[in-house]
Amino acid sequence: MSATLALRSVDKFYGPVGAGVHAVKDVSMEVRKGEIVALLGSSGCGKTSTLRMIAGFEAVSRGAIALGGRDIHLLPPVRRNVAMAFEGYSLYPPLTLRENIGFALKSARLPRGVVERRVSEVAALLEITDILDRYPSSVSGGQQQRASLGRALVRDADLHLLDEPMGQLEPQLRALLRGRIKHFIKERGLTAILVTHDQTEANALADRIAVMEGGVLQQFDTPENIKERPANLFTGTFVGEPPMNVFEARVGREDGRLVLHLPDGLALQYEDASFAAPVRDAILGRDRVVIGIRPYAVRRAAEGLPAIVSASQWLGDQTHIAADFAGGSLVLVEHDQARLKPGAPVRIRVDPASLHVFDASDGNAVSHGTELA
Amino acid sequence: MASLELQNITKRFKGQTVLDDLSFHVADGERLVLFGPSGAGKTVLLRLVAGVIDPDKGKILIGGEDVTDVEAEHRGVGMAFQNFALFPHMSAFDNIATPLAAARASPSAVRAGVEKVAKLLKIGHVLDHAPRALSNGQKQRTSLARALAGEPPLLLLDDPLRNVDAKLRFEMRLELPRLLATRGATVVYVTQDYKEAMALGDRIAVMFRGRVAQIGTPEDIYRRPATREIARLFGDPTINLFEAAPARDARGVHVSLSNVQLPLPQDFAAHAGRACTLGIRPEALHFADASTPGAIPVTVEAETPLNEKTVSLLLAADGRELLLSRPAGAPGPSQGPAYVAAAPESLLLFDAGTGARLGAGGDGQAAYRSGEAA
Amino acid sequence: MEHTSLLERVFRGVALTAVVVFFMFPIVWIALMSFQTNETILRIPPSVVFEPTLSNYRALITGRLDTAAGQLDIAFMRNLGNSVLLSVGSVALALVLGVPAAYAFARHKFRGSEDIAFTLLSFRFAPPLLVLLPLTLYFRELGLSDTYFGLIWVYQLICLPLILWIVRGYFEDISPDIEYAYRIGGHSWFGTFWKIALPLARPGIAAAGLLAFIFAWNNFVFALVLASADKQPVTVGALAFVTASGIQYGQIAAAIVLSIAPTLALALYAQRYLVEGLSLGAVKG
């Protein structure tokens, strides 16, 4: 499949090239046609700068951006054929929501009937049909955000850019709208890039997620792989809600077992056969490692390591349990209602398949479960 | 330690009733969460208890003593604010020390008190920083430390996790119960996040428009919400709601959804023929075989993962949308046709007009009222 | 976008210089005049090359003015002292009265509070002359005319509304939660005012005080009518330079330099302080 959007070694400097603030560092990525990609990171990670360079609001300091095979990074925004939903909505105040959403279609001189049909279609999708004739200032922030999303989605464009598209949405609508928007984009085969700091949004909508930090693209992969095969400790701990449990461990080998010594005299022990030889060797080749365990992968078992429950919180469809373990805190997620009182002793087990091992010095992944990273 | 009792509290601002004849009781050492949408009056209520604003009517009792006319500084409560409300011209240490200094503790006692609570909240290393030099998480911990420092018997927490990022909020949510337990204080906690409410409350008081709509344990509120409105606010994804009327025939009581008859527990027979709203929690729905009784044929429109769950948007034959959630990794179709079903006892029925939940076998209003009076 | 061309930089420099020259010229010219005799000032064409003399300053400080018609006694230094006394006194009194009032207006909305606050502001709108005539009569009855206290009292018409309105805005900007937090911590309302509200509004109080000082210093009409020679501030005292034998430009210039010196010094000092205060910037969290 051909790449519809390609970033080739893109750099962004604020100030002189080479000396100013290096906001985006040598980012290369390809977004395929019909794909939804999320740029995920905390504030200041470079994701918004990247988006703005693609949209054309920010000059590319070094590198190139191509859309559908043509270089666009020197074109003015209006000639890139890119639709965008802005974080601050940026609706035109003197126009009604209907006129706002239909604005680009009208400018493209589409027949009135077509414009009307498409506007009402997208309005129904976003649950704003009954407020279409109101002005932006008279509707709530969540409704403005939905109108702004609608204005971007309704357009025919080679690429749709969505900047924090759902941050202000009413919580009761979020899950439903996520489903509908994903269906809408997929059904029409649109290519979309969304920028967000909210991993729930990224996980829900994206086919692939680009995790950024410090201007560097940390990992660009499917949500499953980012969760199951994080490239480094940063991605591992950044993505995942609740976050991954992390412990430092000293690597040892006793009686044909791989032993990971944790603080407080605890140790995770695995039969040699648990891991394939290359994985075992990679772990044993290091003196110290950082192990990561996803909260849902921690099992309670009769013959596990001891931990003391510090909090057990039932949220209706999940129970989050925090336990004092190995000098730190361990979080477990269970899908049933667990009735545990603080102070209760539990025993926990980590299957070899759920164990993530990272290098203690550079944080790069060593192994995921029984496979090499 | 102290109990808290509110009796018939009414408060108006500029002719608008913010709190409307509100009464409830918080037992000694209990954690009560005030939950509700913004504008429900939660924050005003907290300020009334703290004594910084006065009620127009009603009484406030702390530890059994009427404190309605007692000044804020003599009520002995601790409070943390949503916007932290740190004193910008004082160091974190001085911020935390204010309740101790007010009690005229000796300098060494102040230092000991501040260091103790700072250690508990893991901010010992930033005590000499000014608030503007603190990260958001540290500000939030400093403001909690200040509320806790005076070891108040009654602690008021006004949405303290609102302004910190998701990760810190999650961390604090798991850490707070222990923190509060070590102090043994009675706690009133205000939040707009239903997860926080369920995780932290011994009981939850759900407030709408200046009134308590339901007060009960998290389990009461989630499994037996008094109204449709409450059911909508608890749960992510939001509960599926459909207009439906239960019917009764030879095979029992059932409700029709997308031309499929979903069996209801026999106790609902009393509501046959009534205009109702049917509520199905997304996690109560599951993929099933076509042969399962009450299986609804649907098309999977989209699949959106959500914190260790997978949420599917389903389209039923009559065009209605349903959300289904299942543990991440549990098998299920990601697109195309499928059948879904829900256990009869997991279905909720509400009166279509009043929105009150209809109790199994009984009158809906009864369930509503008992919720309110509890 | 970040790069500016040479032309742009040159143009910007020229424009800035023009603006500075335009605004600074009168002050610089007066400063130069103050070091010249009346003759050199009045020669045509004017020149910036002259022999500097301190005679103007000497005359002001000794209180002896040499004019073509002979020697004249002037009380300039005394006037300067009066100005300082009157301005400092009225600002101090206005702060003592106005800051707590501003706090009350900011924090306690009671029936009619807006009206009262506006009435106080409206004192600034009334033409002073309108007030002066009845005031003169009352003051004479009360024995307040031609007293420092009487003048300071009248000066409140200038200072109080200014301080009230500026400081009130600053108090309103402080989140009530910050004050609530202090009170709930066990402190009285006065302690809260003193330890929280006042320090946080300090930049505003400083700005208002400075402004009030400048207005008071520059006042002319009240003092002209209500004060006799020995209580007059410099604004009124400067009339003495318009003598029978002509206008003493050199002395006037020197007097201006001396009389703007205190306000200028204060403004420069307070500017640093104001910037510091504003960069505190954490008032709103």
Q: Encode pLDDT of B132-178 as tens digits.
A: 999 988 999 999 999 999 999 999 999 999 888 888 888 899 999 88
Q: What is the pLDDT of residue B364?
A: 41
Q: Contact B133/B123 with Cβ under 8 angstroms?
A: no
The reply to whether residue A223 touches residue B305, judged by beta carbons under 8 angstroms, is yes
Q: List the one residue out of A355, A371, A359 whose CA is nearest residue A293.
A: A355
Judging contacts by C-beta atoms under 8 Å, the chain C residues touching residue B89 are 199-200, 280, 282
A132-154 pLDDT, tens digit each: 999 999 999 899 999 999 999 99
Mapped to the 3 state alphabet, what secondary structure does chain B carry?
CCCEEEEEEEEEECCEEEEEEEEEEECCCCEEEEECCCCCCHHHHHHHHHCCCCCCEEEEEECCEECCCCCHHHCCEEEECCCCCCCCCCCHHHHHHHHHHHCCCCHHHHHHHHHHHHHHCCCHHHCCCCHHHCCHHHHHHHHHHHHHHCCCCEEEEECCCCCCCHHHHHHHHHHHHHHHHHHCCEEEEEECCHHHHHHHCCEEEEEECCEEEEEECHHHHHHCCCEHHHHHHCCCCCCEEEEECEEEECCEEEEEECCEEEECCHHHHHHCCCCEEEEECHHHEEEECCCCCCCEEEEEEEEEEECCEEEEEEEECCCCEEEEEEECCCCCCCCEEEEEEECHHHCEEEECCCCEECCCCCCHHHHHHHHHHC
Burial class of residue A270 (count of CB atoms within 10 Å of its CB; 0-12, 13-18, 19+): middle
Out of B72, B131, B146, closest to residue C183 by CB: B72
Lowest mean pLDDT among A328-337, B90-99, C132-141: C132-141
Give the length of chain B.
374
CA-based nearest residue in chain A for residue B314: A179
The neighbours of chain C, by the rule of 3 or more Cβ pairs under 8 Å, are: A, B
Kindly calculate the radius of gyration of chain B based on its CA atoms and give it in whole angstroms.
24
The reply to whether residue C1 touches residue A59, judged by beta carbons under 8 angstroms, is yes
Lowest mean pLDDT among A188-197, B323-332, C33-42: C33-42
A316-339 pLDDT, tens digit each: 989 999 999 998 999 999 988 888
pLDDT at residue A306 greater than cutoff 50: yes
pLDDT at residue A196 greater than cutoff 70: yes
* A57 SS3 class: coil
Q: How confident is the model at residue B360 (pLDDT cuts 50, 70, 90)?
A: low
Q: How confident is the model at residue B225 (pLDDT cuts 50, 70, 90)?
A: very high
Structure-model confidence comparison of residues B197 and C75, the more confident one: B197
A211-257 pLDDT, tens digit each: 999 999 999 999 999 999 999 999 999 998 889 999 999 999 988 89
Mean residue pLDDT of chain A comes to 92
Lowest mean pLDDT among A277-291, B9-23, C43-57: C43-57
Kindly calculate the radius of gyration of chain C based on its CA atoms and give it in whole angstroms.
24
Q: What is the pLDDT of residue C277?
A: 52
How far is residue B56 CA from its own chain's centroid?
27
Q: List the one residue out of A29, A28, A27, A30 whose CA is nearest residue A2.
A: A30
Percent of chain A's residues with pLDDT above 90 = 75
Structure-model confidence comparison of residues A346 and C63, the more confident one: A346
Q: What is the ipTM metric for this complex?
A: 0.87
Q: What is the pLDDT of residue C68?
A: 61
Q: What is the pLDDT of residue C158?
A: 87
Whether the bond between C45 and the residue before it is cis, its omega within 30 degrees of 0, is yes
Judging contacts by C-beta atoms under 8 Å, the chain C residues touching residue A20 are 2
For B300-306, what is the mean pLDDT? 91
Structure-model confidence comparison of residues C126 and B24, the more confident one: B24
CA-based nearest residue in chain A for residue C1: A59
For B222-244, what is the mean pLDDT? 94
Q: How many CB atoms lie within 10 A of CB C96?
A: 11
Judging contacts by C-beta atoms under 8 Å, the chain C residues touching residue B78 are 184
pLDDT at residue C2 greater than cutoff 60: no
pLDDT at residue B373 greater than cutoff 60: no
Distance from CA of C199 to the nearest CA of B (A): 8
Q: How many A/C residue pairs have CB atoms within 8 Å?
A: 5
Distance from CA of B170 to the nearest CA of A (A): 7
Q: What is the pLDDT of residue A15?
A: 85
Q: What is the pLDDT of residue B108?
A: 93
Q: What is the pLDDT of residue C283?
A: 38
> Quick check: pTM over 0.80?
yes
Q: What is the pLDDT of residue A2?
A: 45
C169-198 pLDDT, tens digit each: 899 999 999 999 999 999 999 999 999 999
Whether the bond between A242 and the residue before it is cis, its omega within 30 degrees of 0, is yes
Q: List the one residue out of B214, B161, B162, B153 whose CA is nearest residue B184.
A: B153
Distance from CA of A329 to the nearest CA of B (A): 10
pLDDT at residue B366 greater than cutoff 50: no
B208 touches chain A (CB under 8 A): no
Cα A171 to Cα B82, B278, B331: the distances in Å are: 19, 20, 27
Helices (H), C75-192: 76-107, 113-122, 128-142, 148-173, 176-184, 189-192
C227-261 pLDDT, tens digit each: 877 888 888 887 777 776 677 788 888 888 888 88
The reply to whether residue B236 touches residue A243, judged by beta carbons under 8 angstroms, is no
Lowest mean pLDDT among B126-140, C121-135, C148-162: C121-135
The reply to whether residue A16 touches residue C2, judged by beta carbons under 8 angstroms, is yes
B86 touches chain C (CB under 8 A): yes
Q: What is the pLDDT of residue C274?
A: 64
**Which of A198, A299, A310, A315 is the best mutation test for B, with the most CBs of B within 10 A?**
A315
pLDDT at residue C136 greater than cutoff 60: yes
- Side-chain-side CA neighbours of residue C229 (13 Å): 6
The reply to whether residue A15 touches residue C2, judged by beta carbons under 8 angstroms, is yes
Whether the bond between B153 and the residue before it is cis, its omega within 30 degrees of 0, is no
* B residues 318..357 contacting C (CB < 8 A): none
Distance from CA of B119 to the nearest CA of C (A): 20
Q: How confident is the model at residue C85 (pLDDT cuts 50, 70, 90)?
A: very high
Q: How many B/C residue pairs have CB atoms within 8 Å?
A: 79
CA-based nearest residue in chain C for residue B143: C181
Q: List residues bridging with C64 in a β-sheet.
A: C73
For C150-160, what is the mean pLDDT? 90
**Which of C109, C179, C183, C184 is the best mutation test for B, with the most CBs of B within 10 A?**
C184
pLDDT at residue C285 greater than cutoff 50: no
Q: List residues bridging with A308 in a β-sheet.
A: A324, A345
B282 touches chain A (CB under 8 A): yes
B29 touches chain A (CB under 8 A): no
CA-based nearest residue in chain C for residue A57: C1
pLDDT at residue B245 greater than cutoff 80: yes
For B216-220, what is the mean pLDDT? 95
Mean residue pLDDT of chain B comes to 90
Q: List the one residue out of C117, C101, C279 whose CA is nearest residue C197.
A: C101
Q: How many CB atoms lie within 10 A of CB C199?
A: 15
Kindly calculate the radius of gyration of chain A based on its CA atoms and give it in whole angstroms.
24
d(CA B118, CA B5): 31
| C260 DSSP 8-state letter | H
